[in-house]
């Protein structure tokens, strides 16, 4: 691990100001992804701004009938909150499908959104990786790509966003709130929070340098039956090959988002409208233009089968 300096921030604006004051700064919250990356020297920040003491650890009802989740609410606390379990069960189910109990006790809402890809070449510093070292190439293209993306990828990177929580948040149309060094706030729909890789896979999100996530807001509950279906190589503690977050209403209408297939939670609203026609119609629309590799083409029929299972569970 490379040497770095460290400070604890007292409030969100002070944290953003400290991060904007110099290059090479990272925020530290639960540390469940960042510290691993630092030990492997994939991330080598010159300075860490610890945000664990700045509040932002409560879940509050909004005037619009939704919930505002502080950025530092742990995954365990979010999954077990009675309002989330009652009104947004797809979110609880997605969170408990990820990581382990110990990690969920430390991992935060903001950190979960910011976790980096699990592409094996990203973690192997001997291999070319445009995300780790821009311009170095992509060892996954033409290499082992079974776990990687089938849509929204580029000639520079075919990695996926690895999380579960964000897939449920995408189906719920969550918004992400941030603050910058001047105290300015902005709200980012989760649909546009994670970038498609394009020519710059080193940039995972639309956050600007020093911009700090303060909260995630969920709109009013959607009702309906909530399902999170995750297909993975082993029964626990594994990332999704394909996952499906679905909210299905009694008349068969609903919403669906997919994980494990793209650089962001993948939802095509036009495909939602096809839910009454069945899983194959939805995935034919949602994955139009997909560019799978020989290794991961199985993800396309798997997505259809996972969605069919989710619809079956929601309507049984």
Binding site for ligand SF4 (CB under 6 A): 117, 119, 121-122, 129-131, 138-140, 148, 157-159, 201
In this structure, how many other beta carbons lie within 10 angstroms of the beta carbon of residue 273? 15
Q: In this structure, are residues 202 and 278 in contact, taking their beta carbons and an 8 Å threshold?
A: no
Torsion-angle region of residue 96: left (phi > 0), alpha (psi -120 to 50) or beta?
alpha
CB nearer to ligand SF4: pick between 158 and 286: 158
Q: How far is the CB of 38 from ligand SF4 (least distance, A)?
A: 17
CB nearer to ligand SF4: pick between 4 and 123: 123
* DSSP type of residue 207: P
The residue with tokens 């993975």 is 232
Please give the order of strands across the beta sheet that includes 242-248. Answer: 225-231, 242-248, 254-259
Q: How far is the CB of 125 from ligand SF4 (least distance, A)?
A: 11
3-class DSSP state for residue 227? strand
CB nearer to ligand SF4: pick between 95 and 139: 139
Beta-bridged to residue 228, according to DSSP, are 245
Q: How far is the CB of 312 from ligand SF4 (least distance, A)?
A: 33
Q: How far is the CB of 120 from ligand SF4 (least distance, A)?
A: 8
Radius of gyration of the chain (CA): 19
CB nearer to ligand SF4: pick between 92 and 130: 130
CB nearer to ligand SF4: pick between 137 and 278: 137
Q: How far is the CB of 140 from ligand SF4 (least distance, A)?
A: 4
Q: How far is the CB of 262 from ligand SF4 (least distance, A)?
A: 12
CB nearer to ligand SF4: pick between 136 and 236: 136
In this structure, how many other beta carbons lie within 10 angstroms of the beta carbon of residue 183? 10
CB nearer to ligand SF4: pick between 135 and 316: 135
Residue 143's Cβ-count burial label (10 Å; 0-12, 13-18, 19+) is: middle
From the list 214, 156, 263, the residue with the least C-alpha distance to 15 is 214
CB nearer to ligand SF4: pick between 128 and 284: 128
The residue with tokens 């029964």 is 235
Q: How far is the CB of 282 from ligand SF4 (least distance, A)?
A: 26
Spacing of C-alpha 241 from chain mean position: 14
Q: How far is the CB of 211 from ligand SF4 (least distance, A)?
A: 23
Alpha-carbon gap, residue 64 to 10, rounded angstroms: 30
User: Within 128-164, where are the H helices?
Assistant: none
| Residue 102 exposure: Cα atoms within 13 Å on the Cβ side | 2
3-class DSSP state for residue 154? coil
From the list 85, 84, 80, 76, the residue with the least C-alpha distance to 108 is 76
CB nearer to ligand SF4: pick between 175 and 293: 293
Q: How far is the CB of 34 from ligand SF4 (least distance, A)?
A: 17
């Amino acid at each position: 691990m490379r040497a770095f300096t460290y400070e604890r921030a007292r409030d969100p604006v002070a944290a953003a100001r400290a991060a904007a004051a110099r290059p090479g700064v990272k925020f530290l919250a639960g540390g469940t992804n960042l510290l691993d990356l630092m030990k492997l020297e994939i991330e080598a920040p010159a300075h860490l701004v610890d945000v664990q003491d700045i509040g932002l650890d409560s879940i509050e009802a909004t005037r619009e009938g939704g919930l505002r989740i502080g950025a530092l609410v742990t995954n365990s606390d979010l999954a077990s909150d009675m309002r989330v379990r009652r009104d947004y069960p797809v979110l609880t189910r997605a969170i408990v499908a990820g990581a382990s109990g110990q990690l969920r006790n430390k991992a935060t809402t903001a950190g979960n959104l910011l976790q980096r890809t699990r592409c094996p070449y990203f973690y192997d510093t001997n291999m070319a990786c445009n995300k780790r070292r821009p311009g170095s190439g992509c060892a996954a293209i033409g290499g082992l790509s079974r776990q990687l993306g089938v849509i929204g990828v580029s000639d520079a990177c075919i990695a996926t966003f690895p999380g579960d929580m964000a897939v449920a948040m995408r189906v719920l149309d969550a918004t992400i709130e941030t603050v910058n060094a001047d105290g300015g706030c902005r709200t980012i729909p989760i649909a546009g929070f994670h970038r498609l890789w394009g020519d710059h896979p080193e940039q995972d999100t639309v956050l600007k340098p020093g911009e700090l996530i303060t909260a995630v807001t969920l709109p009013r509950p959607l009702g309906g039956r909530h399902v999170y279906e995750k297909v993975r190589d082993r029964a626990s503690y594994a990332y999704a090959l394909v996952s499906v977050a679905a909210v299905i209403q009694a008349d068969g209408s609903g919403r669906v988002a997919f994980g494990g297939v793209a650089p962001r939670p993948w939802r095509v609203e036009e495909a939602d409208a096809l839910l009454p026609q069945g899983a194959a119609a939805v995935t034919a629309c949602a994955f139009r233009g997909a560019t799978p590799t020989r290794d991961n083409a199985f993800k396309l029929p798997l997505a259809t089968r996972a969605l069919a299972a989710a619809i079956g569970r929601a309507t049984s």
